[in-house]
Amino acid sequence: MRVPTLAVLLATLVVMLAAAPGLAPFGDPTAPASGHVAGHYLEHAYHDAHTPNVVTVMIADYRSFDTLGETMVVFAAGLACALMLLPRGRRGRVPRFLHRKVNLIAEVIVRIMLPAVQIFAFYVIFHGHYSPGGGFQGGALLAASILLGRIVLGRSRSQAAFPTALGRPLGAIGFAVFAGIGLVGFAAGGAFLQYDRMPFALPPDMLRNWGILGIELGVAMAVMGTLVSIFDDLSVGGR
């Protein structure tokens, strides 16, 4: 490692260590982060959205506009990869390591693992109201299972499981689902992403519950499609 790099790293370390004592103590109830709205969220989350997992209610309901922005960032990152890599990549060849001879041990292990990972991913998405996880984690798990297949199972079988052409459209559809659910409440006279104004005959807290599920599905599709398309652009595009 060169000396300037080391100097920058050490300087950053010193700054971080100097700033660390300024942080609030772990679990401090008087810390600024636990002060303003945290108590309101903890008290009202179950009553508002009929969802025990407060983190999910915060991410997908109270701060869903923030989550919409995050989903857009992920999708934009995928588009940026495509724009940088694809224009020359239409002539690009598939790299050797993606269609070499399949390793038997790795293949057997992956074929046992893949269904378990995918089922767990759907569990994470649909059970996000009650346990840790949600659309983002579930979508990333689905994408990880596809990438594992891409690397281990060889090109033809992994393409049959999830074609490259499907990745970016799936990301766009997921983002559209998210924004579309937001627009339903908006069209019915509420605010953007105000689920309890959606025109269905359900009590408001159940409407928010279903709205959260719809948003999680949109996020999962967007994240999965985008991550797979980034991988495909990286491995096939460019050069």
Partner 1 sequence: MIDLLIAGLFVFAGVAAVVALVVRDLLAASVALSTFSFIVALLYVVMGAVDVGFNEAVLGAGVTGTLFVVAIFRTRRGSMD
Sites of contact with partner 1 (CB under 8 A): 1-2, 5, 9, 26, 55, 59, 95, 97, 124, 132-134, 136-137, 140-141, 143-144, 147-148, 151, 227, 230-231, 234-235, 238-239
Nearest to 214 by CA among 72, 69, 66, 60: 60
| Token pair for 88 | 């020359």
Nearest to 128 by CA among 215, 41, 56: 56
143 or 198: CB nearest partner 1: 143
Alpha carbon distances (Å) from 132 to 5, 124, 220: 39, 8, 15
98 or 206: CB nearest partner 1: 98
Nearest to 67 by CA among 215, 227, 197, 230: 215
Q: Are 67 and 215 in contact (CB under 8 A)?
A: yes
| Token pair 């490259």 in the structure block, residue | 164
Q: Are 151 and 102 in contact (CB under 8 A)?
A: no
CB of 211 to partner 1, least distance (A): 19
106 or 191: CB nearest partner 1: 106
44 or 239: CB nearest partner 1: 239
CB of 79 to partner 1, least distance (A): 16
CB of 56 to partner 1, least distance (A): 8
CB of 238 to partner 1, least distance (A): 7
CB of 7 to partner 1, least distance (A): 13
Q: Are 92 and 232 in contact (CB under 8 A)?
A: no
59 or 193: CB nearest partner 1: 59
